[in-house]
Amino acid sequence: MTEFKERKAISEWMKFELETKELDPPIIELRLSPIESITNIDSFDGNGRVRLYSEVVLRKAMLAVTEWNIKQKGKPLDIEDLEIKERVLRRLLGERVKGKKELLGNAIMTYAQNLDNFSKN
């Protein structure tokens, strides 16, 4: 009989220090859900052309970012409010991860697409 592997629904808390003035301090903590390879289909429009990479990253990050530690005026920002989530992620995904040549959006996608990061073993 074939065994179907179990996987965690969300990651542990991940901490990213960014080179940004958008956050004070410039550290964001996130919990991510896995990005399944089937979502790569969303990278193409109906004519088989690749969508804008920024929109692909935003769409995948919107799905992957499950929890965050972001506050505004001392109150937690509601990650369940999709308008807030998109507004915040549009501003932060293009920010560079401190000490790396990688943007936050790419770091999220790299981590969340590696399904081994969600292994229960």
Q: Please check whether residue 7 lies inside any domain of the structure.
A: no
Give the pLDDT mean for 31-52: 76
CA 44/CA 16 separation, integer angstroms: 29
Q: Please check whether residue 78 lies inside any domain of the structure.
A: yes
What residues make up the domain containing 93? 14-118
Q: Please check whether residue 1 lies inside any domain of the structure.
A: no
Q: Please check whether residue 46 lies inside any domain of the structure.
A: yes
Query: What share of residues in the chain are helix, strand, coil (percent, to 5)?
Result: 35, 20, 40
Choice between 115 and 51, residue whose per-residue pLDDT is larger: 115
If one counts the domains in the chain, the total is: 1
93 Cβ contact partners less than 8 Å away, ≥ 6 residues apart: 54, 57, 58, 61, 103, 104, 105, 108
Percent of the chain having pLDDT more than 70?
91
Q: Please check whether residue 62 lies inside any domain of the structure.
A: yes
Q: Please check whether residue 4 lies inside any domain of the structure.
A: no
pLDDT at 37 over 80: no
pLDDT at 33 over 70: yes
Residue 80 structure tokens? 């369940």
Q: Please check whether residue 98 lies inside any domain of the structure.
A: yes
